[in-house]
Amino acid sequence: MRERVFTRDLFGCQMPACGKVISNRRQLVCDHVRPHRGDPALFWDEGNLQTLCKPCHDGAKQSAERRAR
């Protein structure tokens, strides 16, 4: 599943400001565009998944959490 998303996105970060291609899989994160909140339909929807590099994933998460506060 993760492999399919990474291959589809050509191992590139989908953050427009970033777009880095990462060959090291440990630096790639399979991210849910919309939070699945335990919904299996959203969880397994490849259209709802994107490849992000770790710094973007961590950064996006942190700013989303900041916005929520």
Report the residue number, 49 or 56, with the smaller CB distance to Zn ion.
56
Contacts of 57 (CB under 8 A, 6+ apart): 29, 31
CB of residue 31 to Zn ion, shortest distance in Å: 10
CB of residue 41 to Zn ion, shortest distance in Å: 27
In angstroms, rounded to a whole number, what is the distance separating the alpha carbons of residues 14 and 57? 10
Report the residue number, 20 or 36, with the smaller CB distance to Zn ion.
20
CB of residue 48 to Zn ion, shortest distance in Å: 18
